[in-house]
Structure 1
């Protein structure tokens, strides 16, 4: 379907990824404010797969509706609802309570259950790709659990499970949240999305992950190797699960039992999270921004001594340092990363103005 360019007016640039740019747009007929995602490079083709995935996932609560799609010049674009904020933005401003973190986890697990049952792997689970659909930030846990409040976005790296053309020996995802199997360059499966989600929840709870303290290395391939080694070393220890109830360790252990071909037992996983959420007085309003503690205070959490002790015993620790201010080496890597460029948007007023 080819969209008439005059249907949408671009209001502002609201973000970008490795291969795309996102704009706030207005439908000229209905005046509805929406989001437009467009490829940065002509004929890139990355959005074609996302369009297909969103069509296959139509009607799944927690997946943005594909309102429209088409091309301008040679680049694909999609139109979806304009969501509010992602969890990365929220986590940088305030500390999430345990109850809120667990509710977010349960919501994403329920979404992933539906995605996986359709044979789709997301492969880029990270806070930036988890959004809230409502303007309120401080909400009770029950509202977080309401279908559609949490939204999983960006299927640009997603793959169909078992697809013969699936690329091997290629890192797929984000350095910070990718599964250990992604670092190995192996075939990915349903468990890899769950492992990435586990890392997201640990980050939301602790405001950091152990491998964020690696000093920036000379090459991306070396970073992939070293961070992968740290994930392998930490995963079977208690470092990641210390600030969670015991069931979180069971969730982590269950991921370890899965193979890339195994469909997870979602009822078992959901019951673990429901059990964790039942601990404590849920009648009190658990908020997304329930703590006013500063990020500086958060970095001085109870786990720091044990993590430092653990890292000091890692092999080849000459490449590992713990700086006073953590180095954020988060990177998203895609198949065609060497081809990606940027373009200026200061003069863009409508889709017609996007030139290449």
Structure 2
């Protein structure tokens, strides 16, 4: 008897463009085109009609053959919905739909504008201290937004922080995307989780370049770690290099993280020497926080506001070096 073909698709290579454009999701969302297809095969741009206008949307899909991917995309949507229903201004793209299409599960989100990485590149990877201080202030506010709602973000990368669509009312504000690595830091009794330590470095979304020292050493993440990672990100955006970048290619994962953690511990004054004192003070402060300590976001933000005041900050439309590209036209 001829053997039947295996139905296990785990080893089958998925098509580069799994969903054809022109299909309609949930009877509302038209899939218009593939997004960044040289890197991603499961991200799409689409449109839908909202009242009397057409809105652009972002669609993220995961194949249901990978249970880990499916668990993460379901958790990500749950985080989006939790943030959407919380009080205050929404600092993530608005979640519009979660469901299935063929053998994929999809999140549909409001489409936002360029990322922090996009704008940094548009400025030839050179930022003024004033722009850097404004970025720092907004990132602190953004992390406070997550922390106040019970989440540690754990996914610090410049491509994960987006601005509103150019010319829209959201163009000046920073938003966070890719929430699958978010984790709650309090239990059902609203008490802080206990500090645990893994045998090796943590598996989180934050790039190794920006990971906190504790993350390299396997210590459970809390609010302090998001803030420490922001400090390294700001330093990289200004200096365009960090002392430990040459260590990122060490093949042995544990050795790589060990060496980078040691370098970060010893390099604080070195990496901040081209920057104003407030940036070094910021990193010193967040590094000293205990595991369950609530950061003083106001004092941390004030460090960057002081930088702006010291160099004559004036116009609210002159916050960033790239506003010539991004600000609304009169």
Query: If the TM-score is normalised by the length of the shorter chain, which range does it land in?
Result: 0.7 to 0.9
Instruction: Say if 2:177 is the partner of 1:153.
Output: yes
Instruction: Say if 2:279 is the partner of 1:256.
Output: no
Instruction: Say if 2:34 is the partner of 1:34.
Output: no
Q: Deviations over 1:220-244 (max 9, x none)?
A: 443333322322322xx31232233
CA contact (8 A) 1:85 1:132 kept: yes
CA contact (8 A) 2:30 2:47 kept: yes
**How big is the shift at 1:40?**
4.7
Provide closer, same or farther for how the CA distance between residues 178 and 17 of structure 1 changes in structure 2, counting only shifts above 3 A.
farther
For 1:44-63, what aligned pairs fall within 5 Å after superposition? 44=69, 45-58=71-84, 59-63=88-92
Provide closer, same or farther for how the CA distance between residues 103 and 156 of structure 1 changes in structure 2, counting only shifts above 3 A.
same
Provide closer, same or farther for how the CA distance between residues 24 and 17 of structure 1 changes in structure 2, counting only shifts above 3 A.
same
CA contact (8 A) 2:195 2:219 kept: no
Moved more, 14-23 or 268-277: 14-23
Instruction: Say if 2:114 is the partner of 1:85.
Output: yes
Q: For 1:188, what is the secondary structure of its paired residue? A: coil
Provide closer, same or farther for how the CA distance between residues 12 and 174 of structure 1 changes in structure 2, counting only shifts above 3 A.
same
Structure 2 segments unaligned to the other structure (5+ residues): 1-23, 188-192, 325-330
**How big is the shift at 1:60?**
3.5
1:18 & 1:154 partners in 2: Cα distance? 16
1:226 & 1:283 partners in 2: Cα distance? 43
Corresponding residue for residue 203 of structure 2: 171
1:110 & 1:28 partners in 2: Cα distance? 32
Instruction: Say if 2:33 is the partner of 1:7.
Output: no
2:58 & 2:260 partners in 1: Cα distance? 34
1:17 & 1:60 partners in 2: Cα distance? 34
Task: Report how many residues are paired.
Answer: 279
TM-score, normalised to structure 2, is 0.75
Instruction: Say if 2:312 is the partner of 1:281.
Output: yes
Q: Deviations over 1:195-215 (max 9, x none)?
A: 111111111111222222236
1:17 & 1:129 partners in 2: Cα distance? 18
Runs of 4+ in 1 over 6 A off after TM superposition: 16-20, 164-167
CA contact (8 A) 1:195 1:255 kept: yes
Provide closer, same or farther for how the CA distance between residues 47 and 158 of structure 1 changes in structure 2, counting only shifts above 3 A.
same
Structure 1 segments unaligned to the other structure (5+ residues): 137-142, 292-356
Larger Rg: 2
Q: For 1:32, what is the secondary structure of its paired residue? A: strand
For 1:156-305, what aligned pairs fall within 5 Å after superposition? 156-162=180-186, 169=198, 170-172=202-204, 173-214=206-247, 216-234=249-267, 237-283=268-314, 285=318, 287-289=320-322
The structure, 1 or 2, with the larger RCO (C-alpha pairs under 8 Å, 6+ apart) is 1
**How big is the shift at 1:10?**
2.1
CA contact (8 A) 1:91 1:204 kept: yes
2:261 & 2:73 partners in 1: Cα distance? 28
**Aligned with residue 129 of structure 1, among 151, 157, 160:** 160
Instruction: Say if 2:24 is the partner of 1:24.
Output: no
Provide closer, same or farther for how the CA distance between residues 110 and 219 of structure 1 changes in structure 2, counting only shifts above 3 A.
same
2:102 & 2:290 partners in 1: Cα distance? 43
Provide closer, same or farther for how the CA distance between residues 47 and 208 of structure 1 changes in structure 2, counting only shifts above 3 A.
same
Provide closer, same or farther for how the CA distance between residues 220 and 28 of structure 1 changes in structure 2, counting only shifts above 3 A.
farther
